[in-house]
Amino acid sequence: MPLTRDDCTALDAADALAPLREQFELPDRVVYLDGNSLGALPRATAARVQRALRDEWGRGLIRSWNDAHWIDLPQRVGDKIARLVGAAPGELVVADSTSVNLYKVLSAALDLQRQRSPARRVVLSERSNFPTDLYIAQSLARDKGCELRLVEFDQLAGALDEQVAVLMLTHVNYRTGQLHDMAALTRHAHERGALTVWDLAHSAGAVPVDLNAAGADFAVGCGYKYLNGGPGAPAFVWVHRQHVPHFQQPLSGWMGHASPFQFSPEYRAADGIARYLCGTPPVLSMVALECGVDTLLAAEPLGGMAALRAKSLALTRLFRELVDQRCAGHGLHWVSPHNDALRGSQACLTRDGGSDGGAYAIVQALIERGVIGDYRAGESGSPDILRFGFTPLYLCHVDVWDAVEQLHAVLDGDIWRDPRFSRRAAVT
**CA distances to 23, 88, 185, 216, 399 from 35, in Å:** 15, 27, 27, 26, 14
Residue 31: its H or E element: strand 31-32
Our CA angle for 131, 137, 142, nearest 5°, is 130
What's the DSSP call for residue 85?
Answer: H
Q: How far apart are CA 94 and CA 90, in angstroms?
A: 11
225 classed as catalytic: yes
399 classed as catalytic: no
Helix, coil or strand: residue 19: helix
* Residue from 343, 369, 387, 399 carrying the catalytic annotation: 387
Our CA angle for 363, 367, 368, nearest 5°, is 120
Crossing angle of the two packed helices 5-13 and 304-326, in degrees rounded to 10: 170
Nearest to residue 109, comparing CAs of 195, 41, 219, 191? 195
387 classed as catalytic: yes
Nearest to residue 197, comparing CAs of 256, 148, 162? 148
What's the DSSP call for residue 11?
Answer: H
* Residue from 130, 218, 360, 390 carrying the catalytic annotation: 130
Looking at residue 247, its amino acid is: F
Helix, coil or strand: residue 319: helix
| Beta carbons of 42 and 23 less than 8 angstroms apart | yes
Looking at residue 200, its amino acid is: L
Q: How far apart are CA 91 and CA 113, in angstroms?
A: 21
| Beta carbons of 165 and 113 less than 8 angstroms apart | yes
Q: How far apart are CA 44 and CA 395, in angstroms?
A: 18
414 classed as catalytic: no
* Residue from 104, 120, 225, 376 carrying the catalytic annotation: 225
* Residue from 34, 133, 199, 399 carrying the catalytic annotation: 199
User: What residues contact 5, with CB distance under 8 A and at least 6 apart?
Assistant: 398, 401, 402
Q: How far apart are CA 422 and CA 316, in angstroms?
A: 28
Looking at residue 251, its amino acid is: L
Return the active site residues: 130, 199, 224-225, 387
